[in-house]
Amino acid sequence: MSKEFRHIVRITETDLPGTEKLAYILPNINGIGVNLAQAIIRKAGINPETRVGMLTEAEVEKIEDIIRNPDKHGLPPWYFNRQKDLDTGKNLHLIGSDLVLRKKMDIEQMKNLKSWRGYRHAYGLKVRGQRTKTTGRSGKALGVKKKLVMEKAKAAESKK
């Protein structure tokens, strides 16, 4: 088996550039953070400084298997992005389009339940307790136009 460099490597339905180091490019997959990427690399037994393009097919398959079944490979549940799922009660880790779809479903469920978070989502307001008096404004500008202020100042001076 010769190690041939590949410029694009596909891992879990995501194209990754082969020139980047494995530890820094795995978090580009939706649903994988920096800490989880380090844990996956450690479990796979691969050097984190390895370029993605130099990985063999067996190593890529091993990484994909760990990403799809992290609990089977002994990763602790605090790495997972869905602990004690409401539907199944199990610890799950979702990636890619599954994560996006489940997030949309959760927001729709909050809206249907008419919970406070659902209300905030429905009306496009901030959800996590941020201030809204001065930030997060949208629509018509509330500031003062400089041109109007200058014209009013000139008009006041001319009346004197």
pLDDT tens digits for 68-96?
Answer: 999 899 899 999 988 888 888 888 899 98
The pTM (predicted TM-score) of the whole model is 0.73
DSSP letters for 28-73: GSTT--HHHHHHHHHHHT--TTSBGGG--HHHHHHHHHHHH-TTTT
Q: Give me 35's structure tokens.
A: 């800490």
Tell the CATH topology of 97-159.
30s ribosomal protein s13; domain 2 (4.10.910)
Per-residue pLDDT, averaged over 134-156, amounts to 73
DSSP code of 16? E
Which CATH number is 8-79 given?
Answer: 1.10.8.50
Domains 8-79 and 97-159 share a fold: no
Residue spans of the domains in the chain: they are: 8-79, 97-159
How many CA atoms lie less than 13 Å away from 50 in the CB half-sphere?
19
Which of 80, 36, 34, 42 is CA-nearest to residue 62? 42
pLDDT tens digits for 23-73?
Answer: 999 999 999 999 999 999 999 999 999 999 999 999 999 999 999 999 899
Pairwise pLDDT comparison (153 vs 72), residue with the higher score: 72
